[in-house]
Amino acid sequence: MHPAPRALRRAVAVATTALLATALGCAPQPDEKAADAPSGSAGNTCAKGELSTETAGRLTVATDEPAYEPWFKDDKPANGEGFESAVAYAVAQRLGYDKSAVVWQSVPFNKAFAPGEKTFDFDINQVSISDERKKAVDFSSGYYDVRQAVIALKDGKAAKAKGVADLKGLKLGAQVGTTSLNYIDDVVKPTQEPAAYAKNDQAKSALKNGQVDAIVVDLPTAFYITAAEVTDATIVGQFENQGGTPEQFGLVLDKGSALTPCVTEAVDALREDGTLDRLEQQWLSDAVDAPVLK
């Protein structure tokens, strides 16, 4: 028997808590340290195909619309093609859900990691793991190590940049809420206010129309854009990772989700058995080395 849907379980939990509070009155409160326990760590089981999901017997996976290549193919997340679509189905299989049990949902990029209860089991949309975002949501372990890259038109002044200092006086742009925009603000620290766009499509249009000198995206996306979408553009270079650990994309889950340890276990297993490396080679093989901007 599958567990009851999440909404029903929450309603029962709230009612039970209220009754216990009335009965116990001034009973001793739990140790404050209990609040610091890892999300979903207590008493959780990861029985295959029988997890506490949004819909019993189904796994609801979210991503943005449109779904860009090379992460998805033909703007169809459900086709299993593209790196993130393939990763999502590999995680689902590890959790005990075949392809027919996976339901896709459209969720805007910024909304995926904003505070508030989620309507998906996990979101996969090139969301970088960060301490700030962890305040509002849970993350799985990382499924992809990523670097940010700068794209400019081949005949533009940004194309000649050899280092970060060469970018400071330029007009730069990136999608709002992304690590790409953070790199502009925190690493380049340009003298002009960077342009923030709701979608990468808008950033690409601004580049083509000369509204910005360069845009920043993750490296695989940069290779796809310059090869297939803005062919008169070039990859100027990539940024060095900031800090001691690489930037990683992680699956996004509701804060305190009971699924978090199960999904993390699945991602870890896919990394250990070589599946993530194989999928990366299959779908992101064009994302080879680019000059490092120092």
Place of tokens 């086709």: 79
- The predicted pLDDT at position 246 comes to 86
- The predicted pLDDT at position 49 comes to 83
Structure tokens of 262? 């199960």
- The predicted pLDDT at position 244 comes to 67
- The predicted pLDDT at position 132 comes to 94
Torsion angle in degrees (nearest 10) through CA of 27, 33, 36, 38: -90
- The predicted pLDDT at position 56 comes to 94
- The predicted pLDDT at position 289 comes to 65
- The predicted pLDDT at position 291 comes to 87
- In this structure, the strands spanning 137-146 and 247-254 are antiparallel
- The predicted pLDDT at position 24 comes to 32
Mean pLDDT by 10 residues, the chain (294 residues): 42 37 34 36 69 95 95 97 98 97 96 96 96 96 95 96 96 96 96 96 96 96 93 94 83 97 98 97 78 90
- The predicted pLDDT at position 240 comes to 87
Q: Assign 70 to helix, strand or coil.
A: coil
Structure tokens of 45? 């089981």
**Of 81, 71, 88, nearest in space to 223 by CA:** 71
* 216, β-bridge pairs: 150
How far CA 84 is from CA of 30, 245, 267, in Å, comes to 41, 22, 12
Q: How many CA atoms lie within 13 A of 246 on its CB side?
A: 12
The answer to whether 57 and 49 have CB atoms below 8 angstroms apart is yes
Cα–Cα distance between 256 and 260 in angstroms, integer? 8
- The predicted pLDDT at position 117 comes to 94
The answer to whether 260 and 39 have CB atoms below 8 angstroms apart is yes
All residues at 6 or more sequence positions from 131 whose CB lies less than 8 Å from its CB, including other chains: none
The answer to whether 233 and 207 have CB atoms below 8 angstroms apart is yes
